[in-house]
Structure 1
Amino acid sequence: MAEPLKHLLNDTVPPRIAAMVRRAWRSFDSKAFLRQIEPGYESLELMARGQRIAQALQTHLPQDVPRALGVLVDSMDPPMGLDAAGEPDAGDRPYSAFLYLPHSMYIGAHGLQHFEAAMAAQHALTQRFTAEFCIRPYLLHHQGATLARLRDWAQDDNAHVRRLVSEGTRPRLPWAPRLPAFQNNPQLALPLLDALKDDPSSYVRRSVANHLGDIAKDHSDLAVGTARTWLQGAPAPREALVRHGLRFLIKRGDAAALDALGVGHAVALDVRSARVLPARARIGDKVRIEAELHNPTPLPQRVLADLKVHYVKAHGGAAPKVFKLQTLDIAPGATVAVGKTLSLQQMTTRTHYPGAHQVELVLNGRPQPLGQFQLS
């Protein structure tokens, strides 16, 4: 089983932060800082650990907030790069980037009256961790000034900073409070997304897609209209971005979203040779799900193929999870194989429970039963 998330801020993190801060500011009282953190630290979960460290930082950093923010920035290690796949690369650091979660909490809580110093700190922080959480209070309390700064950052040379422009303004960002103004009026952030939709970094484009997906949950017409505009003369990376951004609507079989992607709501395909193997599995095993799609018509057919697994829950009911498979163009008379291997390992994001798990193939939003596997 995966380690609990709280181990991202294990007991080696506070001493490491203390050493980093003291390196930048020799007057920092490391011993008092650690004494404040220690009581009951082991019993705290991730976010509570971050808050405990942030509170200790507030106590022991200079009480002049701009100076304290400068100390935090000076204490940070060099920025992360990007690897060959365009993903964040922390190099050989002996710690998780979550070491900077308390820094984010400090900036979000204490920098609001010091906008310029706080923006400079977030610009530095997001290159080492992310400032997507701590920028949200600034969007709530200094919306105009923060959006103006984000417009500038959309042109920044650093991909981590450009990603913040999209990720920090997401109305439904996971682990973060909602942004009611942006949820009610997504047009506030759309110019930022438009500026980033062809970003050279896949890391940035994925954030734009996720932001479009947030919009789709509250304003499906706007999301589909934006998708149609972006798809005009779109290069392949932008097409992929739009497909990812509309995935919520596609999973629901939304006719407008399917039409925007150039696929019909209904498909005339035969599902053949469906297999769910093994039919009985244990927690920790793998299950392979396969099927063949045959086009019996004289016309080519475009289909978005997804896999829906109804995972058994602790109360005995089931909750569906949809996995994206492929977008397929199937020629007349052709047969195409689709499939996926499911890991049944316990994870921090999913707990597996015994019982019968129903499996469906979803074609252009319409489910087709494939069978089931029994988990024990």
Structure 2
Amino acid sequence: MADSLKTFFDARLVERLAASLHQAAPSFPRANFIREAAKGLDGQELMDRARHIAGALHRALPSDYPEAVEVLLRSLGAQAKLTEGGAMASFFYLPHTMFIAEHGLALAHFEASMRAQHALTQRFTAEFSIRPYLERHTAKTLARLREWTEDPSEHVRRLVSEGTRTRLPWASRLREFQKDPTPVLALLERLKDDPALYVRRSVANNLNDIGKDHPALLVQVAKAWMRDAPPERKWLVRHALRSSIKRGEPAALEVVGAKPPSGIEARVTKLPRRASLGGTVEVHFEVANRSKKPQTLVVDLAVHFQKANGETRPKVFKVRELTLGPGQAEEVCKRVSFEQLTTRKHYAGPHRFEALVNGLGLPLGVVEVGR
């Protein structure tokens, strides 16, 4: 996967892009674009390659921005997400969105840019390219996103919730909305019962982001949304509260019916003493209610991963929710991978495993991870 991330934008893709643009506009300087866009790609990572191609695209397209947008729109493929070429295939349109984000910000170009992003998000995503418009033309962009909450395309509706995330991964933060998320919440309110899980999951992720800056506000919204909520919205709220619950915040736990635990014990039943980098560890542990009252419990697993500097940092994994009567116990399990990933590098050393029950940490043991 790492190689595909690095080499996705290669000379062959540049030729495909040139062919689509030349077909849309026979005057497009196909040969010059290929020569310029393909030069210097080697040694660059995914985003830098896409940015390089977007620069060549800007120099090859008409200098009149609305005219350039029309060429781009005529060159687009079918609205369905691309499947040819695997999970990376839709990244074909990343240079297109970079072009829109950088060169369409003039107020006179607003309509052309919105039209382009409406089309592109149905093929790739415009969650990154919409953000400069939220910062530069806040009121106009929010008004357009409000209209798009009722768009027939679930991809367009998801753009509303995903593009306004204050802490969107791989993107700069929306600082003003971090300070005051009220405009974002107004959009999410319109999407909380969207028919598409794809959209509702994005709404939950947006709320989860908001909760990292405004935990009390997240709980307030969660309580309101849980009133007379259908099952789909209940799932959305629980997903939105996941980080707060992992942090053991009592108010968030209360929303899902989980109060501070009393008389709860965790006993490991299976945990190897040693493991290898690249392998997996399966931990089994029993959660027991030693109190005299039934309890609703959110059970997570914290693994304190070794870092390069010798320190450790916990990562919390969801396990399951339990309702245990007085004296009742139940065994749960979780598999943890030590495979080296592009997004997470593992290091040898002791790794502490800990059960989190309604935020209460209960030690399970230590696994020595070696090479």
- Partner SS, residue 43 of structure 1: coil
Question: Displacement, 1:4?
Answer: 6.1
Give the whole-Å Cα distance in 2 for the aligned partners of 1:62 and 1:302: 62
**Counterpart AA for 2:19:** A
Given that 1:132 and 1:167 are in contact with CA atoms closer than 8 Å, whether structure 2 keeps it comes out as yes
The CA deviation string for residues 128-178 of structure 1, in whole angstroms up to 9 with x for no partner, is 110000001111111111111111110111111110000101111111111
Given that 2:211 and 2:244 are in contact with CA atoms closer than 8 Å, whether structure 1 keeps it comes out as yes
| 1:373 match | 367
- Partner SS, residue 292 of structure 1: strand
Give the whole-Å Cα distance in 1 for the aligned partners of 2:12 and 2:274: 43
**Counterpart AA for 1:143:** T
Given that 1:360 and 1:371 are in contact with CA atoms closer than 8 Å, whether structure 2 keeps it comes out as yes
| 1:328 match | 322
Give 1:165's match in structure 2, choosing from 152, 160, 167: 160
Higher RCO, 1 or 2 (CA under 8 Å, sep at least 6)? 1
The CA deviation string for residues 302-332 of structure 1, in whole angstroms up to 9 with x for no partner, is 0111111111111111111111111222233
**Counterpart AA for 2:94:** L
The CA deviation string for residues 231-274 of structure 1, in whole angstroms up to 9 with x for no partner, is 11112221121112122221221111112222112242222343
Given that 1:275 and 1:371 are in contact with CA atoms closer than 8 Å, whether structure 2 keeps it comes out as no
Mean CA deviation greater in 119-128 or 69-78:
69-78
Give the whole-Å Cα distance in 1 for the aligned partners of 2:7 and 2:361: 40
| 1:63 match | 63
- Partner SS, residue 358 of structure 1: strand
Give the whole-Å Cα distance in 2 for the aligned partners of 1:369 and 1:11: 53
The CA deviation string for residues 42-83 of structure 1, in whole angstroms up to 9 with x for no partner, is 1111211111011011000111111111111221111225xx
The CA deviation string for residues 30-53 of structure 1, in whole angstroms up to 9 with x for no partner, is 221122123321111121111101
Mean CA deviation greater in 234-243 or 51-60:
234-243
Give the whole-Å Cα distance in 2 for the aligned partners of 1:186 and 1:340: 35
**Counterpart AA for 1:296:** R
- Partner SS, residue 324 of structure 1: strand
Give the whole-Å Cα distance in 1 for the aligned partners of 2:195 and 2:262: 35
| 1:361 match | 355
- Partner SS, residue 42 of structure 1: coil
**Residues 92-131 of structure 1 aligned to structure 2 (within 5 Å):** 92-93=84-85, 96-113=89-106, 114-131=109-126
**Residues 185-204 of structure 1 aligned to structure 2 (within 5 Å):** 185-204=180-199
**Counterpart AA for 1:107:** I
Question: Displacement, 1:211?
Answer: 0.6
Question: Displacement, 1:366?
Answer: 1.4
**Residues 16-55 of structure 1 aligned to structure 2 (within 5 Å):** 16-55=16-55
Give the whole-Å Cα distance in 1 for the aligned partners of 2:11 and 2:269: 50
Q: 1:159 to 1:300 in 2, by over 3 A?
A: same
Question: Displacement, 1:2?
Answer: 4.2
The CA deviation string for residues 327-367 of structure 1, in whole angstroms up to 9 with x for no partner, is 22223333222111112211111111111111111111111
**Counterpart AA for 1:92:** E
Mean CA deviation greater in 4-13 or 233-242:
4-13
| 2:289 match | 295
| 1:132 match | 127
Question: Displacement, 1:6?
Answer: 2.2
| 2:250 match | 255
**Residues 346-357 of structure 1 aligned to structure 2 (within 5 Å):** 346-357=340-351
Given that 1:21 and 1:72 are in contact with CA atoms closer than 8 Å, whether structure 2 keeps it comes out as yes
| 1:74 match | 74
**Residues 208-223 of structure 1 aligned to structure 2 (within 5 Å):** 208-223=203-218
| 2:7 match | 7
Give the whole-Å Cα distance in 1 for the aligned partners of 2:268 and 2:91: 46
Give the whole-Å Cα distance in 1 for the aligned partners of 2:175 and 2:4: 31
Question: Displacement, 1:93?
Answer: 4.8
Given that 2:249 and 2:359 are in contact with CA atoms closer than 8 Å, whether structure 1 keeps it comes out as yes
Given that 2:269 and 2:285 are in contact with CA atoms closer than 8 Å, whether structure 1 keeps it comes out as yes
Task: Give the gaps of 5 or more residues in structure 1.
Answer: 82-89
**Counterpart AA for 1:91:** T
| 1:230 match | 225
Given that 1:3 and 1:348 are in contact with CA atoms closer than 8 Å, whether structure 2 keeps it comes out as no
Q: 1:265 to 1:96 in 2, by over 3 A?
A: same
Q: TM-score, normalising length from structure 1?
A: 0.93
RMSD: 1.6
Give the whole-Å Cα distance in 1 for the aligned partners of 2:262 and 2:73: 56
* Percent identical: 48
Task: Give the gaps of 5 or more residues in structure 2.
Answer: none
Give the whole-Å Cα distance in 2 for the aligned partners of 1:26 and 1:181: 44
Give the whole-Å Cα distance in 1 for the aligned partners of 2:333 and 2:8: 34
**Residues 265-276 of structure 1 aligned to structure 2 (within 5 Å):** 265-276=260-271
**Counterpart AA for 2:60:** H
Q: 1:98 to 1:104 in 2, by over 3 A?
A: same
Given that 2:268 and 2:364 are in contact with CA atoms closer than 8 Å, whether structure 1 keeps it comes out as no
Matched, 1:91 2:77: no
**Counterpart AA for 1:309:** V
The CA deviation string for residues 169-214 of structure 1, in whole angstroms up to 9 with x for no partner, is 1111111111122111100111110111111111111111111011
